């Protein structure tokens, strides 16, 4: 019944009539519980309403996107990417411009809308702690970088992206409104103080495993992964102090053969109800401004958009401009 109601409501957006024979399209994301939720909240309702089968693929790979576009053989139609990459790839000519006659951007958080992308969801890097394994949990980025007060391993995101550099600078006393341009010398100097105690995670599932096992009893995590881990019975403590927000984005690689279907998929994925359903399952915040009104008040309290008082917004435009330079230094530092 629920699927039927959603399908009826979306028919006007998707132009379902006559689309049953349309070609399959491919949605690519990062895998794991997040992509499972995207499939359930977005892809299944889209397929029911449009008659277009959505094939899941992943994980997202920026090198593969570039290779596909340059070869003229694009097999991914909609891809979930990091927000700064979306800005950079749009400028590089790797993405289709979005059709805002199909996608209603007036209902979307303007922080996460560009000509080539719209927000998929937004999340926060927060301080997570396995209370049973750690005993005492760090409450601030300063605490997380204090190995005397909080000895042991700490988990951080492996890849060069918004989050870790900002955390290091905040831990070193840089005011939140003075983070940009990023002082890389200062950030790496601060990171040097805990380098021997860092355990790197390269994806959400790996971060959960590190925390649940106690291998790294605390660290920096995507907030939604902590919500999911707590639901399994792990005693997770989350500190939202100076939580660092970033967003994923939905993009369409240049040269897709299913451009029209891709735009309709994004229109559905960013509509109020699918966004609310995804947020309720994952703990990530919706980017549709109408979604909060559709959500249970208790769930709303667990989402990043309810933590605005202590929130630090990562600058996606800055990262897009400096992503390659920061990455070069980041990976060289890790390899030392």
The 10s digit of each residue's pLDDT in 47-92 is: 999 999 999 999 999 999 999 999 999 999 999 999 999 999 999 9
Find the helix or strand (DSSP H, E) in which 319 lies.
Answer: helix 316-335
**Conformational region of residue 166, where left means phi above 0, alpha means psi within -120 to 50, and beta covers everything else:** alpha
Q: Which domains does the chain have, with CATH numbers?
A: 2-122+247-306 (3.40.190.10), 124-245 (3.40.190.10)
Contacts for 158 with CB less than 8 Å, ≥ 6 apart: 200, 201, 202, 334
For range 5-14, the mean pLDDT: 43
Q: What is the pLDDT of residue 5?
A: 40
- Positive or negative: CA dihedral 10, 16, 20, 23: negative
Tell me, what's the pLDDT at 183? 98
Predicted pLDDT of residue 301: 84
| pLDDT tier, 302 (very low <50, low <70, confident <90, very high otherwise) | confident
Rounded alpha-carbon distances, angstroms, from residue 225 to 162, 207, 220, 331, 336: 17, 8, 11, 25, 29
- Is a pLDDT exceeding 60 seen at residue 21? no
> What's the whole-number mean pLDDT along residues 226-235?
92
Element holding 201 (H helix, E strand): strand 198-201
Name the region of 43 (left: φ>0; alpha: ψ -120 to 50; beta: rest).
alpha
Give the 3-state secondary structure of residue 139: coil
The answer, yes or no, to whether residue 2 has pLDDT greater than 70, is no
End-to-end Cα spacing for the chain? 57
Higher pLDDT among residues 147 and 299, named by residue = 147
Q: How far apart are CA 201 and CA 161, in angstroms?
A: 13
Model confidence, pTM: 0.82
Instruction: Write the CA distances from 178 to 27, 160, 313, integer angstroms.
Output: 38, 20, 12
Separation CA 122–CA 155 (nearest Å): 21
Q: Is 271 exposed, middle or buried (0-12, 13-18, 19+ CB in 10 A)?
A: buried
| pLDDT value at residue 308 | 77
Over range 167-171, report the average pLDDT.
98
% of the chain beyond a pLDDT of 90:
82
55 and 16 Cβ atoms separated by less than 8 Å: no
Q: Report the alpha-carbon distance of residue 99 to residue 79 in Å, rounded.
A: 16
Question: Which pLDDT score, from 0 to 100, does residue 140 have?
Answer: 98
pLDDT above 70 covers a percentage of the chain that reads 93
**DSSP 3-state of 271:** coil
pLDDT in tens, 170-220: 999 999 999 999 999 999 999 999 999 999 999 888 999 999 999 999 999
């Amino acid at each position: 019944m629920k699927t039927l109601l959603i399908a009826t409501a979306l028919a006007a957006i998707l132009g379902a009539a006559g689309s049953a024979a349309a070609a399959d399209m491919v949605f690519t994301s990062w895998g794991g519980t997040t992509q499972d939720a995207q499939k359930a909240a977005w892809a299944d309702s889209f397929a029911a309403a449009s008659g277009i089968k959505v094939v899941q693929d992943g994980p997202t790979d920026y090198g593969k996107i570039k290779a596909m576009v340059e070869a003229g053989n694009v097999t991914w139609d909609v891809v979930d990417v990091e927000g700064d990459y979306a800005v950079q790839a749009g400028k590089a000519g790797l993405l289709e411009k979005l059709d805002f006659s199909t996608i209603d951007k007036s209902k979307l958080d303007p922080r996460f809308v560009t000509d080539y992308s719209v927000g998929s969801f937004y999340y926060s890097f927060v301080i997570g702690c396995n209370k049973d394994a750690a005993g005492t949990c760090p409450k601030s980025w300063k605490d997380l970088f204090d190995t005397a007060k909080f000895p042991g391993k700490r988990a951080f995101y492996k890849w060069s992206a918004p989050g870790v550099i900002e955390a290091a600078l905040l831990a070193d006393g840089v005011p939140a409104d003075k983070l940009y341009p990023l002082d890389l010398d200062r950030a790496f100097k601060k990171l040097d103080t805990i380098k021997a105690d860092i355990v790197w995670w390269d994806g959400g599932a790996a971060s959960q495993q590190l925390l649940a096992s106690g291998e790294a009893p605390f660290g920096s995590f995507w907030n939604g992964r902590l919500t999911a881990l707590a639901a399994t019975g792990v005693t997770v403590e989350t500190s939202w102090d100076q939580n660092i927000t970033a967003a994923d984005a939905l993009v369409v690689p240049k040269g897709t053969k299913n451009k029209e279907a891709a735009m309709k998929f994004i229109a559905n994925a960013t509509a109020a109800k699918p966004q609310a359903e995804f947020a309720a399952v994952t703990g990530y915040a919706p980017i549709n401004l109408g979604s909060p009104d559709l959500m249970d008040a208790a769930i709303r309290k667990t989402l990043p958009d309810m933590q605005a008082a202590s929130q630090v917004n990562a600058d996606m435009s800055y990262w897009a401009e400096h992503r390659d330079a920061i990455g070069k230094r980041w990976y060289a530092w890790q390899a030392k």
